[in-house]
Amino acid sequence: MPPQASEGVTVPEVDVRLDRVSKLFGDTAAVDDLSLDIQEGEFFSMLGPSGCGKTTTLRMIGGFEEPTFGTVFLGGRDVTDLPPYKRDVNTVFQSYALFPHLDVYENVAFGLRRKKVAKDEVDKRVRAVMKLVDLVGFERRKPPQMSGGQQQRVALARALVNQPKVLLLDEPLGALDLKLRKQMQLELKRIQQEVGITFIYVTHDQEEAMTMSDRFAVMRHGKIEQIGGPEEVYESPATEFVAGFLGASNMLDGEIKESGNGLTSIVLATGGLMYATSSRIAAGIGPTVKVGVRPEKIRIVADDGLAPSERNSVTGLLRMSTYIGVNYQYKVDGPGGVSLTVYEQNLGTAETRPQPGQKVRLEWLPEHTFVVEPSASPLSQEEEEE
């Protein structure tokens, strides 16, 4: 059923709905009882480490995998048992899968010709999409004569020319070098906004998901840990896994003590008191929690023995200082031997910076503190390396 709106309120149409979908391979659940709504015209990403189920979920939407349980809807229609060619979707893969013996024009026109679209209409749509992906003048080149970024644009044009309702993208930028990858992230977002088609994008790259997505789902072990917009998920992670996977986080063990006046106090396991705004505390957790803060929210100063009254703070020993260009990165041995990371923006000032071996104090605001439930299974080495 489509979402219901109260009088005078417009609710976006749901283009893709997964209703309690699972996919089993033997005794292993690649996707585990997953439900998800993706709105019409949305750039939606599925983000997570290798083996989290994101590609399997995409393949079930596209019809390349059949769910073991559950239902897949496209545009309100049950397509669970339909093959890919009967679904109004197209897919762009990391490998591009272009025909090397055909020139760019014929690669892009291939799907239209198979559908027996009129010749004039084929030419009109191919030329329009070539302009959209900035490949005018490359019509007679063949894929082996083109760079990886250009081939990726051809694959995108070939998918878009069919005017699908939903475009599925399975790590399409994975084979590109870092500079071109960043450029293509912005290009993909521009193209999606121009055509207005729903894009569903699979990636393990956190920055990629944050750069392009209207919303994204962070996945782990076949389940969704959190869904939201980039700012929401980054600033207020719902779980310890999300906090650690999406960017860097400093995490300390604590126990919720009491709440009042919009602030919640947490006693650290190593001693000392922290405060967090109640809105930054994940629902239904406690009393044992993880207290977190992002490295760029922290101010690092020499420890003078005076704790600030309006800030959270911990003391520690500065072990490493690294100049990155855009910022300085510090590694600090914090309370209980916990390693803490601090990013300090490089403003080009001549002020004295703390040096390794110096005792320092880390300070941050209560509103920059988030509180989540400790994870039953911490990040594995493979997940940390994604």
3-state helix/strand/coil string of the chain: CCCCCCCCCCCCCEEEEEEEEEEEECCEEEEEEEEEEEECCCEEEEECCCCCCHHHHHHHHHCCCCCCEEEEEECCEECCCCCHHHCCEEEEECCCCCCCCCCHHHHHHHHHHHCCCCHHHHHHHHHHHHHHCCCCCCCCCCHHHCCHHHHHHHHHHHHHCCCCCEEEEECCCCCCCHHHHHHHHHHHHHHHHHHCCEEEEEECCHHHHHHHCCEEEEEECCEEEEEECHHHHHHCCCCHHHHHHCCCCEEEEEEEEEEECCEEEEEECCCCEEEEEHHHECCCCCCEEEEEECHHHCEEEECCCCCCCCCEEEEEEEEEEEECCCEEEEEEECHHHCEEEEEEECCCCCCCCCCCCCEEEEEECHHHCEEECCCCCCCCHHHHHC
When pLDDT is averaged across residues 261-289 and rounded to a whole number, the result is: 85
Alpha-carbon gap, residue 253 to 255, rounded angstroms: 7
Average pLDDT, integer, range 190-204: 93
Q: Which residue has the higher pLDDT, 308 or 232?
A: 232
Question: Considering only CA atoms, which of 228, 170, 220 is closest in space to residue 375?
Answer: 220
Residue 5: per-residue pLDDT: 39
CA angle 278–295–281, rounded 5-degree value: 15
Task: List the single range of 205-219, 240-254, 296-310 with lowest mean pLDDT.
Answer: 296-310
Higher pLDDT, 303 or 62: 62
pLDDT range class, residue 179, cuts 50, 70, 90: confident
Q: Phi and psi (nearest 5°) for 196?
A: 75, 15
pLDDT at 283 over 50: yes
Topology given in CATH for the domain delimited by 251-374 = OB fold (Dihydrolipoamide Acetyltransferase, E2P) (2.40.50)
CA dist., res. 183 & res. 358, Å (int): 41
Q: How confident is the model at residue 380 (pLDDT cuts 50, 70, 90)?
A: low
CB neighbour list of residue 215: distance below 8 Å, 6 or more residues apart: 42, 44, 45, 227, 228, 229
Residue 383 — pLDDT band, cuts 50, 70, 90? low
> In this model, does residue 241 exceed pLDDT 70?
yes
Q: Above 80 in pLDDT, residue 381?
A: no
pLDDT > 80? residue 384: no
Q: What is the pLDDT of residue 12?
A: 54
Quick check: 27 pLDDT over 80?
A: yes
**Radius of gyration, alpha carbons of the chain:** 25
Residue 4: pLDDT over 60: no
Query: What is the b/e burial string over 180-214, where b = at least 16 CB atoms within 10 angstroms of the residue's CB?
Result: bbeebbebbbebbeebebbbbbbbbbbebbbebbb
Q: What is the chain's mean pLDDT, rounded?
A: 89
In the prediction, which pLDDT does 8 show?
44
pLDDT interval class at 379 (50, 70, 90): low
**Does residue 238 have a pLDDT over 60?**
yes
**pLDDT value of residue 177:** 84
Type of residue found at 242:
V
**Structurally, what CATH architecture does the domain formed by 14-232 represent?**
3-Layer(aba) Sandwich (3.40)
pLDDT (average), residues 132-136: 91
pLDDT by residue (tens digit) across 50-63?
999 999 999 999 99
**What's the confidence (pLDDT) of residue 49?**
93
| Mean pLDDT in residue range 116-143 | 92
Place of tokens 């389940």: 223
Q: What is the mean pLDDT of residues 221-241?
A: 94
Q: Where do the structural domains in the chain lie, given as residue ranges?
A: 14-232, 251-374
Kindly give the pairing relationship between strand 28-39 and strand 370-372: unpaired
CB 70 within 8 A of CB 18: yes
Determine what percent of the chain is predicted with pLDDT higher than 90.
67
Q: What pLDDT is attached to residue 6?
A: 40
Task: Supply the pTM of this predicted model.
Answer: 0.88
Angle at which helices 178-195 and 148-160 cross, to 10°: 20
The predicted pLDDT at position 286 comes to: 74
Token pair of 200 as six digits: 């569903």
The answer to whether 245 and 218 have CB atoms below 8 angstroms apart is: yes
Does residue 172 carry a pLDDT above 90? no
Sequence-separated (6 or more) residues with CB below 8 Å from residue 379: 241, 244, 245
Q: What is the mean pLDDT of residues 315-333?
A: 94
Average pLDDT of 300-316? 86
Averaged over 31-58, what is the pLDDT?
95
pLDDT band (50, 70, 90) for residue 94:
confident
125 has pLDDT over 90: yes
Q: Give the pLDDT of residue 305.
A: 77
